[in-house]
Structures are given as C-alpha cells and as structure tokens.
Amino acid sequence: MAKFSAIKQHLYRKIASGEWPEHHPVSSENALSQQFSVSRMTARRALQELADEGLVIRSKGSGTYVAPIKSQTSFMAIRNIADEVRERGHKYHAVVHTMRQEQATANVAEFLQLPANTPVYHSVITHYENHDPVQVEERWVNPKIVPKYTSQDFTKVTPHEYLSSVAPLTEASHQIEAIAPVEHVMHWLKLEKPEPCLRIQRRTWSESGVVTYALLTHPGSRFVLGGHLTFKKN
C-alpha cells in the first residue's frame, strides 16, 4: 500500500469507528509525517484527498477537522454505492420500488439508441445509508445486452455490481444538475418538505453498445460531490 494510502486508511478508521466524531480535530501534517515516517508532502496529499472526498474540512490557520456526516461520492468515477457506504463504516440496504419490462418512450429510446417503443427494462431503487435514503436510482436497461436484468435480487446485489459483471463498462457520460424533486421522489427520499436535490444523468456503454440510461437523485442535505485527480507529467 502506498504510504499516503496507509495514512488515509488510518484516518478512515478513526472517523468510521466514531473515535473522531464530527468537528473533531484531525492529526496535523507534521504529526502524520512523524507517525508514519513520511514527508510532509505525503501527509498533505492524504489529508487533501480526504478533503476532496468531503470527509474532512481543512481551514488555513486553524487546522483540519472531521466534516459533518453526509453522503459523499465522486463525480469523476463510477463506483458502487454500497461500497461507498460501507467504506464509511455505515450499513447499506436497498428498497426496490419498480422492476418491470415496458415500452421505451421516445426520450429513453434515444438515450439507449433504440427504436421508439422497443421493450426495455425499467427499475427504481432507493439506496440507504444506515436509516437514511441517500439515492433514488431510476434506470432503463437494454434487454438485448442484459437479458436477465429483471430476474436479479437487487436487495442483495446492486445494479452496478451486476451490470459490471455481465456487461463491463467501456464508456460513460454524466450530466449533473440541481433539481426540485417531484412528489414521489420526495416520498422515496423521506423528505418532509421540498429541498434542492442533485441529479446525475448517466449513460453507460459496453462493447455491445449502450447498456443503461439512469437518473440518480440525491437529497442536497445528505450528499456531497467530491473527487481527486492525479495528472501524470509529460
């Protein structure tokens, strides 16, 4: 394991175990560099990546603190939401609202690059972190590429896990926007009153073509987008 990754795992455990609650001070760059026998630059990278992921807040002059607990994900990578929740030391479960075959609307057909009224699979699932719903996933799937989609138990395996195994990802596109949730999405997210939500519109491809078109809706009060990019030198 890279040294900065070892530092990150150490800090993850402190936060996930509850030893370091919200707003708790996080070890400084100097302290971490001495503890792990690394340079300050390595310690700084670990702390900055945690800040990029939304787990800590860095404040110049006052130090680094554990961030308020929210759901975080990266907009630069497609990850399994169950893994993200469990990495934070929390419990994951899902509720399936819809799982059926239907005729594709013109909009869905266009995104899946299929003729209008072609049969497609449609699922709606709410993903939970502990007792809180953190994502409503509405997904349309090309049945020619994933013929057994509707026979899966998505309370035991996420669509991401299943699709990755049967139609490995070769390409993806994202569009992120702030929206006002409609009534049924508010119900699934357990929102007592309307609040801004973030919606990720995503298409994924495999070698066989467009596999899915999905709308992923997150409550703004329980969700943070973050990420970290490393650029290679020429």
pLDDT digits (tens, 9 = 90+) for 44-58: 988 988 887 778 888
Regarding whether 13 and 79 lie in a shared domain, the answer is: no
In the chain, % of residues over pLDDT 90: 58
Q: Which CATH number characterizes residue 108's domain?
A: 3.40.1410.10
Regarding whether 196 and 113 lie in a shared domain, the answer is: yes
Q: Which residues contact 234 (CB under 8 A, 6 or more apart)?
A: none
**210 located within any domain:** yes
| The 197-206 sheet, strands edge to edge | 92-103, 119-129, 132-141, 209-219, 197-206, 171-179
Whether the per-residue pLDDT at 114 is higher than 90: the answer is yes
Tell me the two tokens of residue 140: 């349309």
Q: Give the pLDDT confidence score for residue 74 in this predicted structure.
A: 56
Mean residue pLDDT across the chain: 88
Query: What average pLDDT does range 63-79 have in this prediction?
Result: 70
Regarding whether 167 and 108 lie in a shared domain, the answer is: yes
Closest CA to 108 of 140, 66, 79, 150: 140
Going by pLDDT thresholds of 50, 70 and 90, the confidence category of residue 59 is: confident
Q: How far apart are CA 187 and CA 94, in angstroms?
A: 15
Cβ atoms within 10 A of the Cβ of 30, count?
10
Residue in the block written with tokens 């070698």: 207
Domain count of the fold of the chain: 2
Regarding whether 43 and 154 lie in a shared domain, the answer is: no
- Give the CA-trace dihedral at 62, 63, 66, 72, to 10 degrees: 100
Q: At what angle do helices 3-16 and 40-52 cross, to 10 degrees?
A: 50
**168 located within any domain:** yes
Regarding whether 40 and 99 lie in a shared domain, the answer is: no
**231 located within any domain:** no
Regarding whether 191 and 112 lie in a shared domain, the answer is: yes
Q: Give the pLDDT confidence score for residue 12 in this predicted structure.
A: 81
Q: Which CATH number characterizes residue 17's domain?
A: 1.10.10.10
Going by pLDDT thresholds of 50, 70 and 90, the confidence category of residue 30 is: very high
Regarding whether 122 and 56 lie in a shared domain, the answer is: no
Regarding whether 157 and 98 lie in a shared domain, the answer is: yes
Regarding whether 111 and 40 lie in a shared domain, the answer is: no
Tens of pLDDT along 120-176?
999 999 999 999 999 999 999 999 999 999 999 999 999 999 999 999 888 888 888
Q: How far apart are CA 153 and CA 147, in angstroms?
A: 14
Going by pLDDT thresholds of 50, 70 and 90, the confidence category of residue 69 is: low
**233 located within any domain:** no
Tens of pLDDT along 167-222?
988 888 888 889 999 999 999 999 988 899 999 999 999 988 999 999 999 998 87
Domain range for 134: 71-226
Residue 43 has φ and ψ, to the nearest 5°, of -65, -40
What is the DSSP code string of 51-90? Answer: HHTTSEEEETTTEEEEPPP-EEEETTS---HHHHHHHTT-
| Contact call for residues 173 and 183 (beta carbons, < 8 A) | no
Q: Give the pLDDT confidence score for residue 207 in this predicted structure.
A: 86
Q: Which range has highest mean pLDDT (14-23, 80-89, 90-99, 197-206)?
A: 90-99
Regarding whether 86 and 47 lie in a shared domain, the answer is: no
32: helix, strand or coil: helix
**126 located within any domain:** yes
Residue 210 has φ and ψ, to the nearest 5°, of -70, 125
Q: Give the pLDDT confidence score for residue 174 in this predicted structure.
A: 82
In single-letter form, the type of residue at position 137 comes to E
Regarding whether 152 and 169 lie in a shared domain, the answer is: yes
Q: How far apart are CA 205 and CA 56, in angstroms?
A: 34
Q: What is the DSSP letter of 30?
A: H
Regarding whether 149 and 129 lie in a shared domain, the answer is: yes
